[in-house]
Chain A
């Protein structure tokens, strides 16, 4: 268990550092930054003190704390994937509209000259 805990803590600390770096580069709003910081601090805390959620995993009939973390992580990943897909679609659509419009406007202007 200790090995897994150490890996989890190191990974969690790396993610906290990574989020901090991107926040300083202004890639995250303060709202996103706070959200991600909370998630990864909680992750590190649970990796060190898994017994904190012992009551919850017993109520949910989950055998280990690690399994609970995996379930929560999967839910977050699915949500983020869907959000990314929607964002990419919207971006593609915007680029398409922009490129098509610029092509038409450019030729129109050439004809008006």
Chain B
């Protein structure tokens, strides 16, 4: 089945790599949605060179809010059947987009892009990453590796079912937790791990906050 799929890229002050990301994505899709989350650099201006679907948050709300804005726009305005999320900091290789499209077209509701845990993943990120997967396994009896990975895809049906609420980084864990809770069919595909900025990503406090949220989703969502 041929599906209409958009690539949603949320970003905050990503002028350094956005050019590369959008140029790369354009080779594989004509539908890119860039959500600028209150950046004070030239991100939105750069994005407009590659796509007409640039949404600008007037203030910084967080990655989750950016992803949700992109989804609302893609599903309701562009009438797409599914979206693929990519990070704007060039951590993800656009050449892997066809793998996500293929998995969605084969009927997967959610597709998780999973990085291989090789030596180039910073230690704290590796530990936080493993911690999230173990927590998910304990609370929801499902093992999804690399929960913080932002390279993932979701169908319209799954998006409506998950009723995502998070505004920050915890949205990645919310997606994994709710997919596990609602027993939605998902596919895991290996992706390349590219790290430009070792300071970015989850820290220990973020991991603890996510653990608290996971318990909340397990008990009350």
Q: Are A99 and B73 in contact (CB under 8 A)?
A: no
**Cα separation A12 to B58 with both chains bound (whole Å):** 43
Chain B 18-42 residues near chain A, CB threshold 8 A: 35, 38
Chain A residues positioned under 8 Å from B65 (CB to CB) = 96, 99-100
Q: Are A100 and B68 in contact (CB under 8 A)?
A: yes
- Using a Cβ–Cβ cut-off of 8 Å, how many residues does chain A contribute to the interface with B? 12
Chain B 122-168 residues near chain A, CB threshold 8 A: 167
**Cα separation A110 to B38 with both chains bound (whole Å):** 19
Whether B54 sits at the interface, judged by CB under 8 Å, is: yes
Chain A residues positioned under 8 Å from B56 (CB to CB) = 103, 106-107
Among the interface residues A100, A108, A110, A111, which one has the most CB atoms of the partner chain B within 10 A? A100
Whether B43 sits at the interface, judged by CB under 8 Å, is: no
Q: Are A111 and B52 in contact (CB under 8 A)?
A: yes
**Cα separation A110 to B54 with both chains bound (whole Å):** 10
**Cα separation A95 to B60 with both chains bound (whole Å):** 11
Whether B181 sits at the interface, judged by CB under 8 Å, is: no
Q: Are A103 and B58 in contact (CB under 8 A)?
A: yes
Given contacts A104-B69, A104-B77, contact A99 B54 (CB under 8 A): no
For residue B68, which residue of chain A has the nearest CB?
A100
Whether A27 sits at the interface, judged by CB under 8 Å, is: no
Chain B residues positioned under 8 Å from A99 (CB to CB) = 38, 57-59, 61, 65
Q: Are A96 and B52 in contact (CB under 8 A)?
A: no
Given contacts A96-B65, A111-B52, contact A104 B72 (CB under 8 A): yes
- Using a Cβ–Cβ cut-off of 8 Å, how many residues does chain B contribute to the interface with A? 18
Interface of B is mostly: mixed
Given contacts A100-B65, A103-B35, A107-B53, contact A95 B59 (CB under 8 A): yes
Given contacts A96-B65, A96-B167, A111-B52, contact A102 B73 (CB under 8 A): no
Chain B residues positioned under 8 Å from A100 (CB to CB) = 57, 61, 65, 68-69, 72
Interface of A is mostly: helix
**Cα separation A111 to B76 with both chains bound (whole Å):** 14
A-facing mask of B62-74, CB < 8 A → 1, else 0?
A: 0001001100110
Chain A residues positioned under 8 Å from B68 (CB to CB) = 100
Chain A residues positioned under 8 Å from B58 (CB to CB) = 99, 102-103
Q: Are A107 and B73 in contact (CB under 8 A)?
A: yes
For residue B72, which residue of chain A has the nearest CB?
A104
Chain A residues positioned under 8 Å from B57 (CB to CB) = 99-100, 103
**Cα separation A63 to B35 with both chains bound (whole Å):** 62
Chain B residues positioned under 8 Å from A111 (CB to CB) = 52, 77
Name 19 interchain pairs, CB-CB below 8 A, sorted by A.
A95-B59, A96-B65, A96-B167, A99-B57, A99-B58, A99-B59, A99-B65, A100-B61, A103-B55, A103-B58, A104-B72, A104-B77, A106-B55, A106-B56, A107-B55, A107-B56, A107-B73, A110-B52, A111-B77
In order of increasing CB-CB distance, the 5 nearest A-B pairs are A103-B55, A100-B69, A107-B55, A99-B57, A104-B73
Residues of A within 8 A of B (CB): 95-96, 99-100, 102-104, 106-108, 110-111
Q: Known contacts A99-B57, A107-B77, A111-B52; can you find 6 more A-B pairs with CB under 8 A? A: A100-B68, A103-B58, A104-B69, A104-B72, A104-B73, A106-B55
